[in-house]
């Protein structure tokens, strides 16, 4: 038998199938070891056939093959689609479907030895053996290491006598052992029932569930998943952030026990490997995780849920730069199941497609139990400054915070900036401390008393004097979460304050620990970056303060209005989810801003009409496609010459079809250097996707090896 094999080397020059001979049968999707050049490589069997065009004496033999194919037929064909669509080597597309540790072979299955009771044997004059035997008899079996710890050599003696046996068995690592299932299942409300029915009855593949925060979308998802399982099928549940998964997982665990497996990058290598195996072997039937979970080896999928569909993290930022929605849609079509998108603030593009009838639109306009949405008060920070209040807290916020604490309730303060201060500025000469590897200013971190680069993580010693002029009038401008915590502690010495941002949430359990502490009322105030905005359900929170609502408005990005609306709505949605009504204080220097006003009024429709008209007038997505060809390189000359190469190719396209290009130019990327790499871009706004393929081809054809060239479609980050 002949196998067509893709060798697991992600390089365009070996990006084709090679024929190998196999003695025994091998199924497509299996990983194999094959001789390649002078060494042995891993590969994937793409297809099997009877004969090869390659002369028999030249054909090499497959050395080893795994029994059970790592990839099923669906995954194989999906990998082919991904490779073609995003123009990456097949090997790179195939890797998406495996936990990285399976490729490197660095993790092993873990085994544990158990001691099992076989039968009574004489133990005269050996009290330890008698005790050990009695122990095993009672338990049936126990971890051998523990038995040895308690009874020493007695176990060995019993094994010799035939009273006990040792057995080595595979154990699966269980991430989130701590996450106990706690959430009760609810009887569906009428609105939830309508949503479930709509999903099950529509002829359309994609359903957009537009439900305000606290409308009970999760219960709808869980019901749909339960129905899929009841029908003998499986489910994928995608969430945007790791910080969300422990909460979701605990609900899934409560309902589905160990049928739920978690897939995400925060797990240890071994855990990821085991969870993946449980999904492939069918012992787990629900995959929950961030975007990479869309590639899990489940078969017969009955429903795919993509929660918080508007979230930017669904776009991959490394090759292949896929959009999770596109992959999920392919899988839904292949499996004949529904793809359910959920959000309180759908992206403008998704909402447009729903309004136009491409997706089924289901709305849940009210919170569970008709709980009111919190009142949002816009506070004009310019007035505060005029009144001499230079602190990050308005008088109104301080008042409400005092009340909230006095009543024993909890508050969340949101600020989209971690660290202590944004920049360190010399007031004598205007010098700003910057990273040596990145074209960005450094952030002061008070806890470690150092300056940090938020792009590459490099730490620098704190400055005592300006390195440019020697002046000592250094000022810290812009407030970060650390500083907020310090100021709060001074204002409310008795309050217990928690901070949640990238600095406090390292490690798999980082988010979970903080969220757990807060939900167990071990803190009164939670201060955080956008991590605190997402999905969390804390019934005791009655006050949310948004300290600087303008921050995200002034980003040079066509999505900045949308982002701001989403962020304000999401953060506000954390308030008043329990019995008490909640409120939101939104601090801004631009209180008349239309977007903030729509957000404060929970007027998604109003926001949408405003925004879609703007996008149509300016010809921005979804009326056009923004495509950026990025060029990066450690050497400026190399990057520039690669830029020239790709630009010339693209320019020919531009010259031939100028009507397709609403914008076309090359330039520095907004951040000119990150992690030591120089960054350039060819920025294009296209009136259609007609020449997307040619653009990918142009980028792939750049011959320089010392520069990286890649394509981004409607990038969620234009820095
Ligand atoms: P969303 O995801 O739409 O923001 P959640 O799913 O978090 O909303 O639900 C909000 C709250 O309502 C949660 O505390 C949840 O336990 C509760 N809830 C959901 N469905 C029901 C129901 N049918 N009956 C009672 N409470 C419910
Ligand atoms: Zn840096």
Separation CA 601–CA 532 (nearest Å): 21
Tell me the mean pLDDT in the region 211-224. 93
**pTM of the predicted model, to two decimals?**
0.85
Q: What pLDDT does 81 receive?
A: 96
Give all strands of the β-sheet with 410-414 in edge-to-edge order.
375-380, 583-588, 541-546, 410-414, 525-528, 497-500
Q: Which residues contact 450 (CB under 8 A, 6 or more apart)?
A: 444, 459, 460, 461, 462
Separation CA 397–CA 487 (nearest Å): 13
Distance between Cα 458 and ligand 2 center (Å) = 6
Compute φ and ψ for 62, nearest 5 degrees: -70, 130
Q: Is the pLDDT of residue 104 over 70?
A: no
Q: What pLDDT does 172 receive?
A: 65
Q: Is the pLDDT of residue 107 over 60?
A: no
Residues with CB under 6 A from ligand 1: 186-189, 192, 211, 213-219, 368, 537
Ligand nearest to the CA of 454: 2
Nearest atom in ligand 1 to the alpha carbon of residue 215 is 3
Closest CA to ligand 1's atom 25: 186
Q: What is the mean pLDDT of the chain?
A: 89
Separation CA 162–CA 155 (nearest Å): 11
In the block, tokens 């409400």 appear at: 400
Q: pLDDT (tens digit, 9 = 90+) per residue, 419-471?
A: 777 778 888 888 888 888 888 888 888 888 889 888 888 899 988 898 888 88
Sketch out the chain's domains with CATH numbers: 2-104 (3.40.1440.60), 110-171 (1.10.10), 190-368 (3.40.50.300), 371-421+478-615 (3.40.50.300), 625-713 (3.30.70.1430)
Q: Is the pLDDT of residue 62 over 90?
A: yes
Q: What pLDDT does 529 receive?
A: 85
Q: Which residues contact 523 (CB under 8 A, 6 or more apart)?
A: 410, 496, 497, 498, 517
Separation CA 336–CA 329 (nearest Å): 10
Q: Which residues contact 351 (CB under 8 A, 6 or more apart)?
A: 208, 210, 608
Distance between Cα 452 and ligand 2 center (Å) = 8
Cα 15 to Cα 5, 74, 612: the distances in Å are 10, 20, 42
Give all strands of the β-sheet with 301-307 in edge-to-edge order.
260-263, 286-289, 234-238, 301-307, 338-343, 206-211, 360-364
- Residue 441, both tokens: 């200013």
> Which H or E run contains 459?
strand 459-461
Distance between Cα 186 and ligand 1 center (Å) = 8
Tell me the mean pLDDT in the region 87-96. 93
Distance between Cα 483 and ligand 2 center (Å) = 22
What confidence tier does 699 reach under pLDDT thresholds 50, 70, 90? very high
Cβ neighbours around 658 below 10 Å, total? 9
Q: Is the pLDDT of residue 649 over 70?
A: yes
Separation CA 272–CA 176 (nearest Å): 12
Closest CA to ligand 1's atom 10: 214
Separation CA 56–CA 537 (nearest Å): 65
Three-class secondary structure assignment of 117-130 = ECCCCCCCCCHHHH
- Alpha helices per DSSP H over 373-473: 381-386, 395-406
Separation CA 495–CA 713 (nearest Å): 46
What confidence tier does 516 reach under pLDDT thresholds 50, 70, 90? confident
Tell me the mean pLDDT in the region 258-269. 80
Q: Is the pLDDT of residue 555 over 80?
A: no
Residue 244 DSSP class: G
Ligand nearest to the CA of 459: 2
């Amino acid at each position: 038998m002949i196998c067509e094999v893709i060798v697991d080397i992600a390089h365009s020059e070996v990006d084709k199938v090679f024929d190998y001979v196999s003695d025994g049968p091998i199924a497509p999707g299996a990983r194999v070891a094959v001789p390649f050049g002078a060494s042995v490589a891993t590969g994937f069997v793409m297809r099997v056939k009877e004969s090869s065009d390659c002369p028999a004496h030249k054909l090499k033999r497959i050395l080893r093959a795994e029994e059970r194919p790592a990839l099923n037929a669906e995954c194989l064909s999906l990998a082919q689609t991904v490779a073609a669509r995003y123009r990456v080597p097949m090997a790179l597309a195939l890797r998406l479907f495996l936990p990285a540790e399976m490729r490197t072979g660095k993790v092993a299955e873990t085994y544990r030895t158990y001691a099992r009771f076989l039968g009574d044997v004489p133990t005269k004059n050996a009290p330890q053996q008698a005790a050990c035997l009695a122990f095993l008899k009672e338990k049936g079996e126990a971890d051998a290491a523990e038995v040895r710890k308690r009874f020493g050599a007695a176990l060995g003696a019993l094994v010799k006598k035939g009273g006990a046996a040792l057995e080595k068995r595979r154990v699966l690592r269980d991430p989130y052992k701590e996450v106990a299932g706690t959430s009760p299942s609810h009887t569906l409300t009428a609105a939830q029932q309508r949503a479930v029915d709509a999903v099950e009855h529509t002829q359309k593949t994609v359903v957009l569930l537009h439900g305000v925060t606290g409308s009970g979308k999760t219960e709808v998802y869980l019901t749909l998943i339960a129905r899929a399982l009841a029908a003998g099928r499986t489910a994928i549940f995608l969430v945007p952030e790791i910080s969300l998964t422990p909460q979701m997982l605990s609900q899934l665990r409560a309902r589905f026990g160990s049928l739920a497996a978690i897939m995400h990058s925060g797990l240890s290598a071994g855990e990821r490997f085991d969870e993946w195996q449980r999904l492939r072997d069918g012992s787990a039937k629900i995959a929950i995780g961030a975007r990479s979970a869309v590639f899990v080896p489940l078969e017969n999928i009955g429903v795919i849920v993509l929660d918080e569909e508007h979230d930017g993290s669904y776009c991959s930022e490394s090759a292949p730069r896929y959009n999770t929605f596109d992959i999920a849609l392919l899988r839904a079509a292949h499996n004949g199941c529904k793809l359910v998108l959920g959000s309180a603030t759908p992206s403008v593009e998704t909402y447009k497609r729903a309004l136009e009838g491409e997706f089924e639109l289901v709305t849940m306009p009210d919170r569970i139990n008709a709980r009111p949405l919190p009142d949002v008060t816009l506070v004009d920070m310019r007035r505060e400054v005029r009144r001499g209040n230079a602190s990050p807290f308005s008088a109104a916020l301080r008042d409400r915070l005092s009340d909230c604490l006095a009543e024993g309730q909890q508050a969340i303060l949101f600020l989209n900036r971690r660290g202590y201060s944004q920049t360190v500025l010399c007031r004598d000469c205007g010098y700003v401390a910057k990273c040596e590897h990145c074209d960005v200013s450094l952030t002061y971190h008070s806890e470690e008393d150092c300056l940090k680069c938020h792009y590459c993580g490099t730490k620098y010693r704190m400055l005592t004097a300006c390195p440019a002029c020697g002046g000592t009038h250094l000022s810290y401008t812009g407030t970060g979460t650390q500083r907020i915590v310090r100021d709060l502690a001074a204002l409310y010495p008795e309050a217990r304050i928690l901070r949640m941002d990238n600095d406090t949430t390292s490690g798999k359990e980082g988010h979970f620990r903080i969220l757990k502490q807060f939900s167990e009322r071990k803190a009164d105030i939670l201060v955080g970056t956008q991590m605190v905005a997402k999905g969390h359900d804390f019934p005791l929170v009655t006050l949310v303060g948004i300290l600087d609502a303008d921050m995200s408005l002034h980003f040079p990005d066509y999505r900045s209005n949308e982002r701001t609306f989403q962020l304000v709505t999401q953060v506000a949605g954390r308030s008043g989810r329990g019995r008490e009504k909640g409120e939101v204080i939104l601090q801004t220097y631009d209180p008349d801003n239309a977007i903030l006003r729509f957000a404060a009024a929970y007027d998604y429709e109003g926001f949408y009409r405003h925004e879609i008209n703007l996008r149509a007038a300016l010809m921005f997505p979804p009326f056009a496609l923004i495509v950026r060809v990025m060029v990066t390189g450690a050497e400026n000359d190399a990057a520039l010459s690669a830029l020239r190469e790709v630009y010339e190719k693209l320019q020919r396209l531009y010259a031939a079809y100028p009507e397709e290009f609403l914008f076309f130019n090359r330039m520095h990327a907004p951040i000119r250097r990150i992690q030591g790499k120089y960054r350039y871009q060819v920025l294009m706004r296209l009136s259609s996707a007609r020449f997307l393929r040619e653009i990918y081809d142009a980028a792939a054809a750049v011959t320089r090896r010392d520069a990286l060239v890649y394509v981004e479609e409607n990038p969620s980050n234009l820095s």
